[in-house]
Amino acid sequence: MQFIEGGVCAAKGFKAAGIHCGIRKNKSKKDLALIVSETEASAASIYTQNLVKGAPLIVTKEHLKDGKAKAIICNSGNANTCNDNGIEIAEGICDILAKELGIDSKDVIVASTGVIGQKLSLSPFESGIPQLVKELGENSSAAADAIMTTDLKRKEIAAEFELSGKKCRMGAIAKGSGMIHPNMATMLCFITTDAAVAPDILHKALVTAANDTFNMLSVDGDTSTNDMVSILANGMADNPIISEENEDYNVFVSVLTEISKEITRMLAADGEGATKLLQCEVVGAKDKESAKKAAKSVICSSLFKAAMFGADANWGRVLCALGYSGADLDTGKIDVAFKSKNGYIEVCRNGAGVDFSEETAKEVLTADEIEILINLNAGNEKATAWGCDLSYDYVKINGDYRS
């Protein structure tokens, strides 16, 4: 596998576009994105487990009962959540797009992101979708821009790989900066591939990849109402269709996991107000579940995140987070170290502090990417979680989010 350019348009048969249609107040910001496959594609999605769900998720879940889709449309600036006519609006968006593309409305995946509980009209879609369709092309970046809300950086990636000797490609765009503490998804991520994969196997692959990537991500501990990851696989690479868990399936899952991991890192690094990407690597766990619980607990600790913002090697906050994580561990065996491009420093051995230079530790923790290395010394399992520091700006951003 090698990373390439192209985002969601890297795979054969996919086009994308992004425009401003009038949902967002700022006319310089795109607010409507579209991804279209030339042919019908196998499709799968995973969704937030928040009981309050955006109308688009409910509509998309219904549309994907047959495991097929041809298009993904997403608006930013309005979540279409907690509105009494939300379903009607989401279905209306699909109907308008379907008519413009000449496809069945049930072949449309629909998504929205933005403010919850704000009324949404079909008017901007009625005027914007025809223009959006006209602009379809190699516009992955335009589509990536159109789904952003408080994001500061565009998130897109693509890779090339082989299945049974056939060259295949996979690409993705994503958005997410705040309200990120997912379970089965992340804020929004759309993935395309020209590999041929049966719908049920595609869903299994997506769940498998998400469990070690998107589900190991946290920015602020809030699970959004609109979290969704969707993937389209149109088969235009002409590989033998993957319909069972064979060697090609393993390769496909590996690539999907790598794509998802890179997107996860981008989402964590661009967390609201973030100045540092945090990567917590736990090894030596008794079982996989304990490794995941331990890594996620450290990443989610507000006190630890604040310490990282201040470049304070307060390793006691790591031990504290491990202690309430629910992981099966022996606190007297835990080792902790910090690592970055500026160096490496051990701060805890066998559950107790070791002498270290505060100056060196400060230097290590001033980097923009920090690794928290934890050895539980209890077994052979491992896990990695991603997050970011907690800065003053997080409160500023969310204090006037609706303004």
Active site residues: 186
Distance CA 128, CA 119 (A): 18
Nearest to 163 by CA among 11, 40, 13, 9: 11
Distance CA 323, CA 336 (A): 14
Residue 355's contacts (CB-CB under 8 Å, 6 or more residues apart) are none
Nearest to 73 by CA among 180, 245, 207, 228: 228
Residue 399's contacts (CB-CB under 8 Å, 6 or more residues apart) are none
List the helix and strand counts (H, then E) for the chain: 11, 15
Distance CA 214, CA 262 (A): 10
What is the distance, to the nearest Å, from the Cα of residue 35 to the centroid of all Cα atoms in its chain?
17
67, 43 contact by CB (below 8 A): yes
